Amino acid sequence: SADGGRKLSLDSIPMGLPMSDPTAWATAMNNLGMAPMGMTGQPLLPDFDPALGMMTGIPPINPMMPGLGIVPPPIPPDMPAVKEIIHCKSCTLFPPNPHLPPPATRERPPGCKTVFVGGLPENGTEQIIMEVFEQCGEVIAIRKSKKNFCHIRFAEEFMVDKALYLSGYRIRLGSSTDKKDTGRLHVDFAQARDDLYEWECKQRMLAREERHRRRLEEERFRPPSPPPVVHYSDHECSVVAEKLKDDTKFLEAIQTLLTWIERGEVNRRTANNFYSMIQSANSHIRRLVNEKAAHEKEMEEAKEKFKLALSGILVQFEQIVAVYHSASKQKAWDHFTKAQRKNISVWCKQAEEIRNIHNDELMGIRREEEMEMSDEEIEDPSEMKETEESALVSQVEALKEENDSLRWQLDAYRNEVELLKQEQGKASRDEDTTKEQQMKLLQQALQGMQKHLLKVQDEYKKREAELEKVREDKLKIETLLENLKEQESSTSRVCACSQEKECPVEKTLSNSPVKSEREVLLVGIISTFLHVHPFGASIEYICSYLQRLDSKICTAEVEVLMTRLQNTFRQELSGVGASLEKRWKFCGFDGLKMT
């Protein structure tokens, strides 16, 4: 009967459900990503959509589908994964709270096929564990511990992902509520030596296949080896002799001939044959010489064409440059805008540069021709006579060269004038920057003076307080006044003598142009620097050197110090016109004689 067939099929399957609850069976199979089928293989629900992999009307529970690969596709964030109750033969699995975060897992080891399962019931057996986890795939081995955990090894890697889905489920054996019959499953990746060994073997196999594939690719792209040279025989000798007379096959034949001679095939019997082949190779020299002469002729013709084309291009460049120069004259120049003038000047410079480059190239070609002509004249003294026409042509060329040189000189003068204008502009900018720097330095000096005055006032107040204390002490100690007065009189005499000795030194210091130890150091460094530069140096150059030693040194301070020491430093003017420059020189040796 049908009921009997259903019971038999139920006994034959290790994980069965009572047929009184077909919806729970369909839900459990849908959780594992399988189509809900009955015990006899018939579909339980007619509205199951195999293309979608889920039942119509039931939200998706497990994103992992069998056969989709090792790593399952991710669940969309807007589609929550709802876990259902899973009924097994000996136990029931209850899903965790959906609002709790997913259980934490360790990093997946390479080639992982083993999982760690913790939180098992105390009364749980290997048969119950097999019943729960064989839904995820073929189980190879189970290693159960006495402390409510075990390790399960699957046949494939993707089965581990299915087993991780059961992490967090609460398990209950039968209908018992005893603590020993319940537990909360914790499934995580486990690191097993067998998995690592199999993964390494697989990687080595893939590496071997990759090396084999690369070797095949290299052999496919490797150039073929040259064909072996045939051994000498009378027939082959006649064939090679015929090839030596053919221009297209000469290279192959000469290589064969060279190999035979190196092998030692020449003897008394074959000497005549080899001599005839060498004679054929010698006759090929004439053909090569004729071919070279033809190529040289073609090269000369190409040179002439190139020279004519280059001279035509130069004529056009001259006309374009003349247009730019005429446009730069005041008649037309005043009517252009500022941007147009700038563009015209830039174009004129570019055209002049290109014109000069092409002119140099043409002059180089002409010089090479003249060198060749002079070599031919030395070789053939009979052709040293020149006609009047050639003399006129040389004069015209000389005039052209002079004209070009004068034009280049004019361009050079123009460039110098532009450079001088730019330098004048830079000098004015530098003066502005130096004025700003001087103002900043003066402001800093004023601020420093104010701070110094405040410090002096504070010290003055402290000294006054100390004096008051000393007066009070004097009033209290009247018995020691006489001794103190004698000591004070002796000390006052000594102070007067020291003050008299210090006064002339101070006077000499106040009268001398050098007012501090810093200025003395500056004078020494500047004197050493200018002694190394006998032709003098500008104040900017001197200050740039001093600012490397101390960045606070300013140009105005150095210039004022040098003007005060007229017997040590002397200022001279050098240059003419726009290039006029002030230079400072060291004249300490002359000043020593004068003073």
- Between CA 163 and CA 141 the distance in angstroms is 14
Give me the residue spans of the domains in the chain.
84-201, 232-300, 306-367, 515-590
- Residue 595's pLDDT is 65
- Between CA 124 and CA 90 the distance in angstroms is 10
More confident residue, 378 or 107: 107
pLDDT tens-place string over residues 44-66? 444 444 444 444 444 444 444 44
- Residue 142's pLDDT is 92
pLDDT tens-place string over residues 208-245? 999 999 999 998 888 877 778 888 888 989 999 998 88
Residue 398 has pLDDT above 70, yes or no: yes
- The mean predicted confidence, pLDDT, of the chain is 78
Is 9 within 8 Å of 40 (Cβ atoms)?
A: yes
Residue 409 has pLDDT above 80, yes or no: no
pTM for the whole structure:
0.31
pLDDT tens-place string over residues 534-579? 888 888 888 888 888 888 888 888 888 888 888 888 888 877 766 7
- Residue 511's pLDDT is 60
What percentage of the chain carries pLDDT values higher than 70? Answer: 77
Report the CATH architecture of 515-590: Orthogonal Bundle (1.10)
Residue 496 has pLDDT above 60, yes or no: no
Choice among 105-114, 131-140, 143-152, 370-379 with the minimum mean pLDDT: 370-379
What percentage of the chain carries pLDDT values higher than 90? Answer: 15
Residue 379 has pLDDT above 70, yes or no: no
More confident residue, 71 or 429: 429
Residues 6+ apart with CB under 8 A from 135: 15, 28, 32, 162
The DSSP H or E segment spanning 497 is helix 481-511
- Residue 509's pLDDT is 47
In the CATH hierarchy, which fold is given to the domain comprising 84-201? Alpha-Beta Plaits (3.30.70)
- Between CA 556 and CA 231 the distance in angstroms is 96
What is the phi/psi pair of residue 5, to 5°?
-65, -40
- Residue 438's pLDDT is 87
Residue 154 has pLDDT above 90, yes or no: yes
What is the phi/psi pair of residue 382, to 5°?
-70, -20
pLDDT tens-place string over residues 2-34? 344 333 333 333 343 344 445 544 554 555 445
554 CB burial (10 A radius; 0-12, 13-18, 19+): buried
Average pLDDT over residues 369-391: 60
Is 133 within 8 Å of 166 (Cβ atoms)?
A: yes
**In 3D, which of 17, 248, 249 has the Cα closest to residue 240?**
249
pLDDT tens-place string over residues 446-463? 888 888 888 888 888 888
pLDDT tens-place string over residues 291-348? 899 999 999 899 888 888 888 888 888 888 888 888 888 888 888 888 888 888 899 8
- Between CA 523 and CA 558 the distance in angstroms is 9
Q: At what angle do helices 234-244 and 250-263 cross, to 10 degrees?
A: 140
Cα torsion 270, 271, 272, 278 to 10°: value is 110
Strands 186-189 and 139-144, bridge-based pairing = unpaired
